[in-house]
Chains A and B, each alone.
Chain A
């Protein structure tokens, strides 16, 4: 094989080999179920969950509820539907998630700003994902805390 042709093949392979590897990895991901085109809904069944909201000024709210196949966010919205609290949230496209801007209770609004924010704990551990991505299980304790920096 001429040296020129060999060099051309080596040059093209520097593009083609990584590209083929990436495509194979992607197809392998699909075949093993790691990569999917539909979000898999988690089936958790009916969950008996306690929600605690600590407003940071001595005021707390607590309720035990039962919902089916629901996220932490669903439980918060359920409280709002029942008229217990009022919430303001922002949906972030880039994170496909919601942030809690404020929770109002007993006529007082607790709004996040430069020195305050709402944090989420599940069974006394800080949540590592957005509230709309965490499916609660039976006997979980959800705690929303209004924290001062």
Chain B
């Protein structure tokens, strides 16, 4: 009975995260402000320092799904958020790269959960691992952009791909770090002041599938471009 109740809470929380992520993504995707007037010149290319997008919305959903829910929800929540909102707003040809990237972010959240990071002392670890997760996401998805043929398949093409990605990476780091502080610190405060944040237990098999899922998605993403 207790298991069912715990699972019910888990399902409700997962549904809430998916709903919030989907609604915000659909409502805001046509209302993104223009880039601020700060420019960066690297490799002779001058571009806006920040290219704004809604990455931080799904990123925080992914991190929370791993950090609080854990298990299968680590990849189910971010993928369903993207899937449902993509039906409304569309996506691009590196769709499997972005989906697997968010599953990877969810896995980062899950690793933090296993290390019991949802404490005041764990805040630097959450922020640090979150930043690493963001960088992994950007390295992975831009690799997909290069592999997919948007740039020439040479070292120069790869360097240009990542140079052009810098404004997006900087925005992802800035926006998601700020969002992490706004969202996760209050959750930790509530937890430390005896408001119950459920600590969902994850069985061994579920743990293994949780780790394997992003890896399988990443392999499928590469296959989708090669075939």
* B68 in the interface (beta carbon within 8 A): no
Q: Is the CB of B37 within 8 A of A129?
A: no
CA distance A37 to B41 in the complex (A): 11
Chain A residues contacting B157 (CB-CB under 8 Å) are: 128
A15-B124, A128-B151 as given contacts; A96 in contact with B164, CB under 8 Å? no
Chain B residues contacting A39 (CB-CB under 8 Å) are: 37, 39, 46
Nearest chain-B residue to A126 (Cβ)? B152
Q: Is the CB of A94 within 8 A of B37?
A: no
**A interface bracket (residues with beta carbon within 8 Å of B):** 20 to 34
* B205 in the interface (beta carbon within 8 A): no
Interface of A is mostly: loop
| Chain A-chain B contacts (Cβ-Cβ < 8 Å), number | 54
Q: Is the CB of B33 within 8 A of A37?
A: no
Nearest chain-A residue to B54 (Cβ)? A94
Q: How many residues of B contact A (CB 8 A)?
A: 26
A29-B40, A35-B49, A36-B39 as given contacts; A129 in contact with B34, CB under 8 Å? no
Within 141-159 of B, Cβ neighbours of A (below 8 Å) are at 151-152, 157
Determine which residue in B38, B48, B157 has the highest number of CB atoms from chain A within 10 A of its CB, and name it.
Answer: B38
* B32 in the interface (beta carbon within 8 A): yes
CA distance A14 to B32 in the complex (A): 32
A39-B46, A95-B51, A129-B45 as given contacts; A11 in contact with B124, CB under 8 Å? yes
